[in-house]
Amino acid sequence: MKSRLLTYMVLFASFIAAIPLQMMGQNISRIKEDPSYIWAEALSQSEEQASETSYKGLVNKLSGIIAIHSNPNINRQLVGGFKKELESASHEVLTREKRGHCSFRYIHNDSIKKIFDSRRSKIVEMLSMAESALERLQIDIALRNLSWAEILLQSIPHPEAEAYRSRNGKINSAPAWVKATISEILSNLNASYKTTNANNKAIIAIDFTYKGKPVRSIDYRFYDGTQWSGLYSAKDGRDIVENNSSSDLNKFRIRYESSHSHLLHIDSQIKQIQEIISSQGADEEISKQRKELETDTLESISPDEIKNKILSVLAQHKENPQHDTTRLEIAAVHNTADLEQVIDRFCSAIEDGTYSLPDSLFAHDGLSIFNRLMRYGNARIIERRELHFYRLGEEIYCRSIPMVFSFNGNNRSFVEDIVLTFNKENRITNITFALHKDAAGDIVSHSNWPEEARIIIVSFLENYKTAYALERLDYISSLFDDQALIITGRVLKNAKIHNELMDSRFVSLTKQNKAQYISRLKQVFAANEFINVSFNTSEVLMLGKGSRMYGIQLSQDYYSSNYSDKGYLFLMVDLKDHTQPVIHVRTWQTKPDKEFGIIGPYHF
């Protein structure tokens, strides 16, 4: 009797414990069916990863619904910028399932409205503070609040529809009122100065007025005929500065500080919005493109300059020979069962949409690259087909898994064959996009070269093209020699003139050093939802007998979310240490030059 009673009690306890889980499941189902909720869920081996992935999923869904900016990538970043508000206003349900941890995150439309209403209140508060400061002639405070309110306006949907009732009772369009007020302040400021000399210094007394009245406070910089000063602050209408007495004060100029970017650290929210907005750079404005064309354009690529650079590098390497690491043994892989098991888990995680795999399947770099790959659009396996394995040194390569990548903010998609690299512990160390078969065929056709050398060239180019797609800025930086000769190009399309009978394209060719190239590339990555590079054909020449220095000419298709072009890429690369390739020359052309054609290995 006692035994039966104990059994009933255990069953009853199990039933009671199951009720909350059942109710939770019913609530989740109800939320999924309710259009007033936006939700996302993710499954992962770790609770933290599941939570992070579901949050990102929620941001992606919201960015598809909330239109703050016309650029999809910037729009997603702006929505993601509400991190504190979204984490506070959304709800998360974490459960443990057989396949791992599941995170279900949701938010109600009313909560989203409250977030934007809060930001609108902050904008109104800033505009009111600007008016009060202007009445007190605190010009620095007025300009700072106006400028920062202007930044905040760019973080809400349809800012042009935002109204602001100024102190005179008039209702204005907030963005228009901000611009007009800033313009009105700057046009009514006046600075006059007197100079005296003492101890080889020019003592400059500057008086600041607004509508004829001394200002209480203002921030400014001055130009002394040679350079602009640091930031100065004037109080009660006057400031006194010292300057070199030899400066030409006939060129003395004042520039008022309106953006107060040096104080953005005070409000991390505004700083983040400003960084996101400014990341789109000048690429979207034709006028700025023309300015770039005028200021840093090369008249043409100089083959002599490139030739001299190549000869200089070759001479230097001849004097300082290094150990050749390309002499590796290539071999077939016969026992692939364990590797195929890993690949099966890799494919399944992508096919079921969880994109979640245990860290133990990866080496450190491999995990980082996998996470980047899963952020590269919406990934899907096209088919599972026969895999090809080979060993090079201590690494095993698996070719290839066909995948397609699509993007929420763009109708373009890309098909890529994925190549996986494994270490001797069967952990994934690298993931790359395979080279186009024609480009790879051109390299493999050099039958007089060692097979391992040809594979290393193919592998280098696959790493190179994949690094741009996955935005591996540190890796790309590591490829270029500090003294590399880099010539970049950009097709500038004339938006005002379109005639099918005339070429309405301008090509900007710019010579850059490594630091400039990496800095500009960082801006390009920030401004695009995706980048994809395809090499269609290749010509490769070994530069020097028995050398591992190569000249590689490639026909390249370049695509990004806001720009695309076709052209010819030339690389001079040292593959003596195949684990650390070094690029000494990189040039780009949109078409053959009239005089010397396409820069390629056979010029040299």
Judged by average pLDDT, the poorest of 44-58, 161-175, 328-342, 490-504 is 490-504
pLDDT band at 524 (very low <50, low <70, confident <90, very high): confident
CATH class in words for 303-603: alpha beta
Give the C-alpha separation, 181 to 222, whole Å.
Answer: 23
Could you name the CATH architecture of 30-112? Roll (3.10)
pTM: 0.53
Give the C-alpha separation, 149 to 121, whole Å.
Answer: 11
Q: What pLDDT score was predicted for residue 270?
A: 77
Q: What pLDDT score was predicted for residue 287?
A: 40
pLDDT digits 0-9 by tens, 551-575:
999 999 898 887 788 889 999 999 9
pLDDT digits 0-9 by tens, 45-99:
888 888 888 888 888 888 878 877 777 777 777 777 777 788 888 888 888 887 8
Consecutive H or E run containing 14: helix 2-33
What is the pLDDT averaged over residues 219-227? 79
Give the C-alpha separation, 126 to 150, whole Å.
Answer: 10
Range 282-289, long-range pairs (CB < 8 A, 24+ positions): 283/524, 283/527, 283/562, 283/563, 284/71, 284/562, 286/492, 286/493, 286/494, 286/495, 286/496, 289/490, 289/492, 289/506, 289/508
Domain range annotation of the chain: 1-29, 30-112, 303-603
Give the C-alpha separation, 307 to 314, whole Å.
Answer: 11
pLDDT band at 263 (very low <50, low <70, confident <90, very high): low
Residue 15 in this model has a pLDDT that exceeds 60:
no
Topology alike, domains 30-112 and 303-603: no
Which residues have C-beta within 8 Å of that of residue 435, sequence separation ≥ 6? Answer: 443, 458, 461, 462, 465, 535
What is the pLDDT averaged over residues 482-500? 61
Alpha carbon 462 to chain centroid, angstroms: 20
What is the pLDDT averaged over residues 246-268? 69
Residue 587 in this model has a pLDDT that exceeds 50:
yes
Q: What pLDDT score was predicted for residue 507?
A: 62
pLDDT band at 526 (very low <50, low <70, confident <90, very high): confident
